[in-house]
């Protein structure tokens, strides 16, 4: 009986050890950097903490916040502009205010890049009136906080554009290459793969954003930050001078309902294994732990806060 009892206890212990905690990671649309970044994050976490089972699902910044608001995801990529709107119940979250989406870690600049063929007469956003445009899918932040906000500060709406097609960044770029559209604009990393792709078929122009436009954007949402595309970034694609634009930092957020222990482990894994992300996108090469702890004044998840305090990365 003692042997049987021992075997029973051992079997129960083994079964308990094999139990995993599922973590739903809502990532990004196809063709962007968020999906491969999420895959890298899941591998890092699952390897260091095998008791966690991080599962990556498609998403987008607005979609991810909405999924967390409705308890359909544990973690996801987002942007400072989306966090600001969600916390205040403004913009796309008017009437849907939520404090469930909490900061976990800062990753990299998410830069607005609006591109047109270099041989076109389009030199500003206002020149896009009546022009066919390839737009991000509905519900994507690049549409809501990029296109719609930028049009708004120029006294325009989507209705002022010509024929519109909606889809992922890869199909948007193809539409311009095939001359079915005259512009494509997204929040993404620098250098952007879609610009490299377009530039292999034709010289392109990146439309700049004036200081006045940026000031107006910041009035709409304080999450916007000025950003300058350095001269030479897209030299081979036909862009030779520096371009003033804006960005909304890419951040990892987590649901307030996801346990502090789980988020502590995720934060520890992604910060201490951050070099892995440099293999996915060059913009993450050389990023420091201190930079990942920069929360831009956004409320932090208790699990992330615990790790950053232990690591001596929080000043207060």
Asked if residue 102 and residue 42 are part of one domain, the reply reads: yes
Whole-number pLDDT of residue 30 = 75
204 domain residue, yes or no: yes
Q: Give the C-alpha separation, 206 to 213, whole Å.
A: 16
Whole-number pLDDT of residue 1 = 39
61 domain residue, yes or no: yes
Whole-number pLDDT of residue 160 = 98
Asked if residue 239 and residue 185 are part of one domain, the reply reads: yes
240 domain residue, yes or no: yes
Full domain range(s) for residue 272 = 21-107+251-311
Please answer whether residues 86 and 101 qualify as being in contact, where contact means their C-beta atoms are separated by less than 8 angstroms: yes
Q: What is the CATH number for 188?
A: 3.40.190.10
Asked if residue 142 and residue 244 are part of one domain, the reply reads: yes
Q: What is the largest CA-CA distance in the chain?
A: 88
Asked if residue 216 and residue 133 are part of one domain, the reply reads: yes
Asked if residue 171 and residue 236 are part of one domain, the reply reads: yes
Confidence (pTM):
0.75
Q: Mean per-residue pLDDT for 97-123?
A: 96
Whole-number pLDDT of residue 268 = 98
pLDDT-derived band at 189, boundaries 50, 70, 90: confident
Q: Which tens digits make up the pLDDT trace of 226-241?
A: 999 999 999 999 999 9
Q: Mean per-residue pLDDT for 191-196?
A: 93
Q: Mean per-residue pLDDT for 186-209?
A: 94
Q: Mean per-residue pLDDT for 275-296?
A: 91
Percentage of the chain modeled with pLDDT above 90: 78
Give the total number of structural domains in the chain: 2
298 domain residue, yes or no: yes
Q: Which tens digits make up the pLDDT trace of 233-267?
A: 999 999 999 999 999 899 999 999 999 999 999 99
Evaluate if residue 136 carries a pLDDT over 50: yes
Q: Give the C-alpha separation, 86 to 258, whole Å.
A: 18
Look up residue 181 and give its two tokens: 């559209």
Asked if residue 222 and residue 181 are part of one domain, the reply reads: yes
Look up residue 195 and give its two tokens: 């610009």
Q: Which of 249, 264, 292 is the last residue of a domain?
A: 249
pLDDT-derived band at 18, boundaries 50, 70, 90: low
Asked if residue 126 and residue 160 are part of one domain, the reply reads: yes
Asked if residue 32 and residue 140 are part of one domain, the reply reads: no
Whole-number pLDDT of residue 17 = 52
Asked if residue 194 and residue 79 are part of one domain, the reply reads: no
Asked if residue 221 and residue 133 are part of one domain, the reply reads: yes
CA-CA distances (angstroms) from residue 67 to 15, 36, 76, 78, 110?
A: 31, 20, 9, 11, 21
Asked if residue 148 and residue 73 are part of one domain, the reply reads: no
5 domain residue, yes or no: no
Strand 52-57 relative to strand 111-117, pairing: unpaired
Asked if residue 185 and residue 138 are part of one domain, the reply reads: yes
13 domain residue, yes or no: no
Q: Which residue has the higher pLDDT, 125 or 282?
A: 125
């Amino acid at each position: 009986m003692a042997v049987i009892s021992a075997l029973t206890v051992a079997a129960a212990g083994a079964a308990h050890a094999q139990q995993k905690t599922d973590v739903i990671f809502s990532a990004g649309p196809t063709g962007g950097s968020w999906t491969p970044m999420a895959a890298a994050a899941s591998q890092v976490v699952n390897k260091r903490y095998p008791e966690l089972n991080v599962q990556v699902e498609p998403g987008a910044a607005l979609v991810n916040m909405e999924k967390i608001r409705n308890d359909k995801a544990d973690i996801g990529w987002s942007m400072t502009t989306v966090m600001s709107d969600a916390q205040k119940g403004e913009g796309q979250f008017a009437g849907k205010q939520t404090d469930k989406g909490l900061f976990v870690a800062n990753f990299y600049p998410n830069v607005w890049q609006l591109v047109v063929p270099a041989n076109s007469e389009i030199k500003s956003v206002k020149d896009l009136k009546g022009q066919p445009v390839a737009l991000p899918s509905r519900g994507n932040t690049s549409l809501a906080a990029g296109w719609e906000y930028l049009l708004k500060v120029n006294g325009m709406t989507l209705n002022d554009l010509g024929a519109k097609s909606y889809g992922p960044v890869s199909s948007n770029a193809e539409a311009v290459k095939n001359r079915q559209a005259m512009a494509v604009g997204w929040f993404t990393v620098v250098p952007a793969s879609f610009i490299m792709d377009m530039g292999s078929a034709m010289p392109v122009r990146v439309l700049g954003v004036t200081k006045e436009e940026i000031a107006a954007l910041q009035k709409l949402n304080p999450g916007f930050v000025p950003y300058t595309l350095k001269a030479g970034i897209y030299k081979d694609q036909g862009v030779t001078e520096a371009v003033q634009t804006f960005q909304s930092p890419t951040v990892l957020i987590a649901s307030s309902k996801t346990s502090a222990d789980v988020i502590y482990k995720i934060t520890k894994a992604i910060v201490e294994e951050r070099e892995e992300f440099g293999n996915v996108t060059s913009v993450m090469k050389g990023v420091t732990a201190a930079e990942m702890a920069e929360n831009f004044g956004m409320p932090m998840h208790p699990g992330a806060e615990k790790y950053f305090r232990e690591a001596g990365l929080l000043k207060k």
